[in-house]
Chain A
Amino acid sequence: MSKMPDSSLITPKALKHLKKRRAADARFRLYGIAAIVFALSALTLLVIAIGTRAYSATTQYVFQAEIMLDADLVAPEGETSEAEITRNIEGFYTLVRDKLFAEFPEASQSQAARQDLSELVNRLAVLSLARRVADNPSLIGKSLEVRVPLSDDLDLYLKGGSPKDVTVRVGSAGTIETDVEGKARISSTSGLSKVTSTRSLLEEGKAMGSVLLAGGKAVARIDSLSPDAAELTLLTGTFEQLANAPLVAHIIPLPEAERPISDQQIAWAIALKQAGNARQVLHTSLVTHTDSTYPELAGTLAAIVGSLLTMMVTACVAIPMGIFAAVYLEEFAPRNRLTNLIEVNINNLAAVPSIVFGLLGASLLLGTFALPRSAPIVGGLVLALLILPVVIIASRASLRSVPPSIRSGALAVGASRMQAVFHHVLPLAAPGMFTGAILGMARALGETAPLLLIGMVAFVAEVPNSATDEATALPVLIYSWASNAERAWEPMTAAAIVILLSLLVIMNVVVVFLRRRFERRW
C-alpha cells in the first residue's frame, strides 16, 4: 500500500475533493428545497388570505317573514301582466316595510325612526320577490314566506364582521327597577363587572362607543355603566322580556356617529335574529344576481356570462387560427428568411404587454371597424390576438415533439404530405395543442387591462344574451368591486376571486385530463 500511494482510491486529497463535492451537492439540494418551500408557503398564504376573506360572503343574512301578498299593493288596478308586477317595486317594498313596522311598533313614534327601520332592507332587495310573483301571479292574495337580504352593514354586523365588536355573557338581569317610561336600572349582576372591564379594555377608558344589552326579543342600551349597576334605555321589546332571559352585552367600541348603522338599527337586527326573522342563509345571489350598487344585492352572473361569451369568441378565433398557423409553419412552410422573420415576430408578440392589445382593439376594432363598445365580441377578438402567439408556440412545440420517423413512415407507404400530417402527426400532437390552447384561454380569462380599454368595465345590470350585447368580465368586475369603498365589498371581491380561480382550476383540470387520456407513447 505505502509503496503505491497514487493507486489508492482513498487518499487525503481524494477525500478532500469528495467532501467538497458532497457539500456542494447538499447545498444545491438545500437551495432547491428552500425555493420550493418558499413558493408553496406563498401560495398557501394567498389561498388562505383569499379563502378567509371570501368565507363570510358564502352566507348572507336575510329578513324572513310570512307576508300576505295584498293584491291592492302588489297589483294595483288589477294589473297582473309580468312587466307591470316586476316594475312595481314600491308595492312589494311597502309590504316588507309594513311587516317590519308591525314587528317593531316603537318605530311608528317618529318619522326618523320609521326611516331608520326601513333602512334595514334595501328598496331594490324586493326585486327578486317581485320577479317571483310576476312569474306566478296566482300567488297574489296568498300568504307567502318571503326572504329579502338585510342591508349590507347589518349583515356585516350580524356576521361579526368587525373584529372590535365583542359580546359578553352577562347572565340573568337580577332586579330591574323601572321608573320613567322606557328607562330602567339593573344592579347586582356579576356579569356587569366583566362588561365594564372588557369595555374599558376595548375603548381604552374613553367610553365613546355603545353597549347594548340583549335578552329574548328585547334590546336595551346601557347609558351608564358601573361594575355593579347599569342604567338602561329600552330600544325594542319590553323590560319583562329582558328580565326573563339570559342577557348578552354587545360592546361596540366605535362611536355611533362614526358608524353607518345606529344603535337602534343594531338593536332591531339583534331582535330579528333572536326571533328567528333574520336568518343566515347560503349566499346564492352571488352567482344568480347581476351587478348592483348595493353589495347585498350584487352578484357575478352577468360577469360570468360575459366572460364565457368572451372566451367563446376567443376560442373560436384563436384556437383554429393558432393551430392552422402552427401546422403550416411547422409542416409545410419552407425554411427561409421570411419564415424565420415570422417566427421571431411570433415569439416577440407573446411578450407584448396585454394593455397594448387593448389599445389596438380600442383604436382598430372600435374606431376603424366600429364594432359595439363593451361587447364580448370585441373583448374576445382582442384576447384572441393576445393569446394567438401563445397558442401558436405551444402547438408548434407539440408538433415538433412528434418524431419525424412517423412522418417518413407515412410518406413511405405512399401518403401525401397532407395525409401524413392529418392522419398521423395531428392526432399525436392534439393533446399538446389543446393543452396550449386551454392554457392560453386561462390566461385570457384572467386578463383585465385590455378589457378596461375597450369599455368592458361598464356597469352591467342585465345578463348579456349575445356576443354583441354590453357586457363585463369577471376580472374586470373584481377590479371594480375592489375599488368600491364600502366594507361589505371586501368579502364580495374575495368571493368573486374565488369564482374566477375555480374556473381557472377547472380549465387546468381539463388540461391534465386531456394529457392523461390522449397522450400516446411511441
Chain B
Amino acid sequence: MDTVGPAKADLALTGEGADKTQALTYPRIDCRNVSVYYDDKQAVFDVSLAIHDRAVTALIGPSGCGKSTFLRCLNRMNDTIEGAKVTGDIFMEGENINSPDVDPVLLRSRVGMVFQKPNPFPKSIYDNIAYGPRIHGMVDSREDLDAVVEKSLRRAGLWEEVKDRLSQPGTSLSGGQQQRLCIARAIAVRPEVILMDEPCSALDPIATARIEELIDELRKRYCIVIVTHSMQQAARVSQRTAFFHLGNLVEMGDTDQIFTNPRERRTEDYITGRFG
C-alpha cells in the first residue's frame, strides 16, 4: 500500500493488493479527478490514479480514448492547445501542478516528453541536446555542456553511434536514432518524469526493441509514463498498466495482473482483442 492520498484513489479502481509487487516504489504523481475538455466536449472523465517512481506506467486503450490527452496533463502541454481545459488536481511531490502559480515552463523541464513521431530540431545533434540545458542556464561552461551532451547521449544509448558526427543535423539520423535523440534531449534537462506518447509507433521492430531496452534501462532513474497501442509492448516494458476507455479510467493495476487477471470485463475484452 502506498501513502494515503493516492492509495485511496487507487483502491477504488484497482482493489486491494494491486501494488504488492511494487512495494519498493512510491507514487511520484498523484492525479485526482482529472477531467479534460476540448471546448465543450469532454475527452477525459474524472480520472484519478497514482503513478509510481522508478517504474514504467503504461496507458493503454482503444484510439481516441483520451490517453494522449491525459498524458499531456502531466506536463501541462494541454495549455498550449487552444480550447483545451483541464480540471482536477495533479500532485507532484505535494505540489499541485495545475495551480495557476505553477510555471508550466519550469514544470516541463522537470517532466520531459517524447512524441509519437521523432521531432528533432533541424539543428546539429549536439545543439539538439544542448538546447534545453542552455535555455535553463544549467551549465556554466562549454566543458560542462559537452559533459551534459555526452551523458545524455550515453543514457539514451546513442553516444557510440553519433560521437564522431555531433555536428551533423539531427534529422540526418535514422528514425530509431532520431527517437533516441529525442529521449536524450528530454534527459538533458534532468527531468524526474519522462512522458512518452507512442514512442515506437513510427519505428521498425528492431528500432522498437532498442527503445524498449532503453526504457527498461531508464526505469532505474526516472518515473516513466508511456502511451502505447501495442499490448505486447505494454506487457514487455511496463510494471503498471492503466486501461482507458471512452475517456474513463477503467482499471489500473500491476501489468501482470491486468494482463492475466483483469477485474473488469471491458479490460478483458480489450486485451483478448474483442474490441479496440
* A binding-site residues for B, Cβ under 8 Å: 334-335, 403, 405-417, 419, 423-424, 428, 520-522
Kindly state whether residue B35 has any CB partner on chain A within 8 Å: no
Residues of chain B from 100 to 142 with CB closer than 8 A to chain A in the complex:
105-106, 108-109, 112-115, 117, 119-122, 131-132, 135-136
Interface stretch among B10-18, B182-190, B210-218? B182-190
Residues of B close to A417: CB separation below 8 A:
80
The 0/1 profile, CB within 8 Å of A marked 1, for residues 248-274 of chain B is: 000000000000000000000000000
Q: Known: A411-B77, A414-B136, A416-B105. Contact between A522 and B113, CB under 8 A?
A: no
Q: Known: A414-B136, A415-B105. Contact between A405 and B119, CB under 8 A?
A: yes
What CA separation (Å) do A413 and B189 show in the bound complex? Answer: 7
Q: Known: A414-B108, A424-B121, A521-B122. Contact between A408 and B132, CB under 8 A?
A: no
What CA separation (Å) do A417 and B104 show in the bound complex? Answer: 11
Q: Is the CB of A412 within 8 A of B112?
A: yes
- Closest Cβ–Cβ distance, residue B106 to chain A (whole Å): 7
Q: Is the CB of B82 within 8 A of A412?
A: no
Which of A335, A408, A415 contacts B119 (CB under 8 A)?
A408
Q: Which residue of B lies closest to A520 (CB)?
A: B122
The 19 listed contacts between A and B (C-beta, < 8 Å) are A405-B117, A405-B119, A408-B77, A408-B80, A408-B115, A409-B115, A409-B185, A410-B131, A412-B75, A412-B186, A413-B112, A413-B186, A413-B189, A414-B105, A415-B132, A415-B135, A428-B122, A521-B122, A521-B171
Which 6 residue pairs of A and B lie closest in terms of their CB atoms, listed nearest first? A414-B109, A405-B119, A413-B132, A412-B113, A414-B108, A409-B119
Which of B115, B122, B132 contacts A414 (CB under 8 A)?
B132
- Closest Cβ–Cβ distance, residue B177 to chain A (whole Å): 15
Which of A334, A412, A419, A522 contacts B122 (CB under 8 A)?
A522
Q: Known: A334-B82, A409-B182, A410-B121. Contact between A423 and B77, CB under 8 A?
A: no
Residues of chain B from 224 to 261 with CB closer than 8 A to chain A in the complex:
none
Residue from the set A335, A410, A414, A428 with the largest chain B CB neighbour count within 10 Å: A414
Q: Is the CB of B115 within 8 A of A405?
A: yes
Q: Which residue of B lies closest to A407 (CB)?
A: B80
- Closest Cβ–Cβ distance, residue A262 to chain B (whole Å): 73
What CA separation (Å) do A406 and B106 show in the bound complex? Answer: 19
What CA separation (Å) do A415 and B77 show in the bound complex? Answer: 12
- Closest Cβ–Cβ distance, residue A401 to chain B (whole Å): 13
Which of A334, A406, A414 contacts B135 (CB under 8 A)?
A414
Q: Which residue of B lies closest to A418 (CB)?
A: B105
Apart from A408-B113, A413-B185, A521-B171: 19 A-B pairs, beta carbons within 8 A: A405-B119, A406-B121, A409-B185, A410-B121, A412-B77, A412-B112, A412-B113, A412-B186, A413-B108, A413-B109, A413-B132, A414-B105, A414-B135, A414-B136, A415-B132, A417-B80, A424-B121, A522-B122, A522-B171
Interface size class of chain B, counting residues whose CB lies under 8 Å from the partner chain: 20 to 34
Residues of A close to B131: CB separation below 8 A:
410, 413, 415, 423
Majority-rule SS of A interface residues: helix
Residues of A close to B119: CB separation below 8 A:
403, 405-406, 408-409
- Closest Cβ–Cβ distance, residue B59 to chain A (whole Å): 17
What CA separation (Å) do A406 and B108 show in the bound complex? Answer: 15
What CA separation (Å) do A520 and B186 show in the bound complex? Answer: 23
What CA separation (Å) do A423 and B108 show in the bound complex? Answer: 17
What CA separation (Å) do A412 and B112 show in the bound complex? Answer: 6
Q: Is the CB of A419 within 8 A of B135?
A: yes
Residues of A close to B115: CB separation below 8 A:
405, 408-409, 412
What CA separation (Å) do A424 and B106 show in the bound complex? Answer: 19
- Closest Cβ–Cβ distance, residue A366 to chain B (whole Å): 43
Q: Is the CB of B108 within 8 A of A412?
A: yes
What CA separation (Å) do A335 and B81 show in the bound complex? Answer: 11
Residues of A close to B117: CB separation below 8 A:
405
- Closest Cβ–Cβ distance, residue A519 to chain B (whole Å): 10
What CA separation (Å) do A403 and B131 show in the bound complex? Answer: 18
Which of A335, A405, A408, A416 contacts B82 (CB under 8 A)?
A335
Residues of B close to A424: CB separation below 8 A:
121
What CA separation (Å) do A273 and B27 show in the bound complex? Answer: 102
Residues of B close to A423: CB separation below 8 A:
131, 135
- Closest Cβ–Cβ distance, residue B227 to chain A (whole Å): 14
- Closest Cβ–Cβ distance, residue B81 to chain A (whole Å): 10
- Closest Cβ–Cβ distance, residue A512 to chain B (whole Å): 21
Residues of A close to B188: CB separation below 8 A:
413
Residues of B close to A408: CB separation below 8 A:
77, 80, 113, 115, 119
Q: Is the CB of B122 within 8 A of A409?
A: no
What CA separation (Å) do A411 and B182 show in the bound complex? Answer: 13
Residues of B close to A407: CB separation below 8 A:
80
Q: Is the CB of A409 within 8 A of B189?
A: no
Residues of A close to B109: CB separation below 8 A:
413-414
What CA separation (Å) do A428 and B121 show in the bound complex? Answer: 10
What CA separation (Å) do A335 and B84 show in the bound complex? Answer: 13
Residue from the set A335, A409, A410, A415 with the largest chain B CB neighbour count within 10 Å: A409
What CA separation (Å) do A411 and B108 show in the bound complex? Answer: 8
What CA separation (Å) do A403 and B105 show in the bound complex? Answer: 21
Q: Which residue of B lies closest to A403 (CB)?
A: B119
Residues of A close to B75: CB separation below 8 A:
412
Which of B82, B105, B121 contacts A409 (CB under 8 A)?
B121
Residues of A close to B108: CB separation below 8 A:
411-414
Residues of B close to A409: CB separation below 8 A:
115, 119-121, 182, 185
Residues of B close to A412: CB separation below 8 A:
75, 77, 108, 112-115, 186
- Closest Cβ–Cβ distance, residue B102 to chain A (whole Å): 13
Residues of A close to B106: CB separation below 8 A:
414
What CA separation (Å) do A149 and B105 show in the bound complex? Answer: 73
Residues of A close to B189: CB separation below 8 A:
413-414
Residues of B close to A411: CB separation below 8 A:
77, 80, 108
What CA separation (Å) do A127 and B195 show in the bound complex? Answer: 79
Residues of B close to A413: CB separation below 8 A:
108-109, 112, 131-132, 135, 185-186, 188-189
Residue from the set A406, A412, A415 with the largest chain B CB neighbour count within 10 Å: A412
The 0/1 profile, CB within 8 Å of A marked 1, for residues 50-93 of chain B is: 00000000000000000000000001010010100000000000
Residues of B close to A406: CB separation below 8 A:
119, 121-122
The 0/1 profile, CB within 8 Å of A marked 1, for residues 142-180 of chain B is: 000000000000000000000000000001000000000
What CA separation (Å) do A411 and B58 show in the bound complex? Answer: 23
- Closest Cβ–Cβ distance, residue A436 to chain B (whole Å): 20
What CA separation (Å) do A423 and B132 show in the bound complex? Answer: 11
Residues of A close to B82: CB separation below 8 A:
334-335
- Closest Cβ–Cβ distance, residue B269 to chain A (whole Å): 33
- Closest Cβ–Cβ distance, residue A204 to chain B (whole Å): 75
What CA separation (Å) do A428 and B114 show in the bound complex? Answer: 21
Residues of B close to A520: CB separation below 8 A:
122
Residues of B close to A334: CB separation below 8 A:
82
Q: Which residue of A lies closest to B185 (CB)?
A: A413
Residue from the set A413, A423, A520, A521 with the largest chain B CB neighbour count within 10 Å: A413
- Closest Cβ–Cβ distance, residue B87 to chain A (whole Å): 20
What CA separation (Å) do A224 and B189 show in the bound complex? Answer: 103
- Closest Cβ–Cβ distance, residue B152 to chain A (whole Å): 11
What CA separation (Å) do A522 and B172 show in the bound complex? Answer: 9
- Closest Cβ–Cβ distance, residue B66 to chain A (whole Å): 18
